[in-house]
């Protein structure tokens, strides 16, 4: 058990007992407990397997590669219309979580196996993958999924190319964190955010003429 998670869940304003319940189930699997994106994250040999999250009306156990494992109990659902690999178990009460409890371990072991085997969802050659790190960020940052999916296809493609070009998961996460505010504002990687550009919506470097302005 990770002491950081102890504090995180103890201070949660919603779903604290329910998340503690899910945590106890997850810790029965051979996973390492960490804190990523401000939420309890569970890894196996350095790979993200699952993450817990609490929202206004529900709480979740997300499996990074849930689309690649059997779902005999029909517990998994897509977080969003464009989600590729990620799936989550979504609950709105302790009773729902308790009903799923006997099956959680089985699902986690299947998720670990999928990661170890390097399984991936097949996608068209011209489609850029949504990295697991971005899927995880969707689940803990309100509005991020909606904001990203509202971007033009070209802007989405530019972000995904940049994120997935990184070889290390930590680097992917750092890149996502750096551009989160920009995405939430509906901006592309090279869009102006300071308002001084003469070539909107792109940034032409005009912000450099105004010391102290927002840097594009």
Domain boundaries, the chain: 3-116, 132-209
Beta bridge partners of 50: 42, 63
How sure is the predictor about 69, in pLDDT bands with cuts at 50, 70 and 90? Answer: very high
Dihedral Cα 84, 116, 46, 26, nearest 10 deg: 80
* pLDDT given at position 112: 97
In 3-state terms, the chain is what percent helix, strand and coil (to 5)?
45, 15, 40
pLDDT at residue 117, rounded to an integer: 92
106, pLDDT greater than 60: yes
pTM comes to: 0.63
Question: Which pLDDT belongs to residue 126?
Answer: 42
At the topology level, CATH places domain 3-116 in 3.90.1150
Residue 123 in this model has a pLDDT that exceeds 70: no
Residues 139, 148 contacting (CB under 8 angstroms): no
Least confident of 26-35, 80-89, 107-116, 132-141: 80-89
pLDDT of amino acid 134: 93
Mean pLDDT across 174-193: 90
pLDDT at 208: 59
């Amino acid at each position: 058990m990770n002491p950081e998670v102890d504090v995180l869940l103890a201070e949660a304003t919603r779903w604290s007992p329910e998340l503690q319940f899910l945590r106890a189930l997850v810790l029965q699997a051979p996973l390492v407990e960490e804190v990523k994106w401000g939420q309890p994250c569970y890894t196996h040999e350095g790979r993200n397997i699952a993450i817990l999250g609490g929202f206004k009306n529900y709480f979740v156990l997300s499996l990074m590669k849930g689309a690649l494992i059997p779902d005999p109990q029909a517990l998994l659902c897509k977080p969003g219309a464009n989600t590729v690999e990620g799936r989550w178990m979504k609950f709105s009460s302790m009773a729902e979580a308790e009903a799923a409890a006997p099956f959680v371990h089985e699902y986690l072991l299947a998720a670990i196996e999928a990661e170890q085997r390097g399984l991936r969802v097949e996608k068209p050659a011209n489609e850029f993958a949504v990295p697991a790190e971005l899927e995880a960020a969707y689940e803990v940052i309100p509005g991020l999924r909606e904001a990203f999916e509202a971007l033009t296809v070209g802007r989405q493609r530019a972000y995904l190319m940049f994120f997935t070009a990184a070889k290390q998961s930590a680097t992917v996460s750092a890149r996502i964190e750096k551009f989160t505010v920009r995405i939430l504002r509906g901006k592309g990687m090279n869009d102006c955010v300071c308002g001084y550009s003469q070539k909107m919506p792109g940034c032409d470097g005009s912000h450099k003429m105004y010391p102290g302005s927002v840097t594009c």
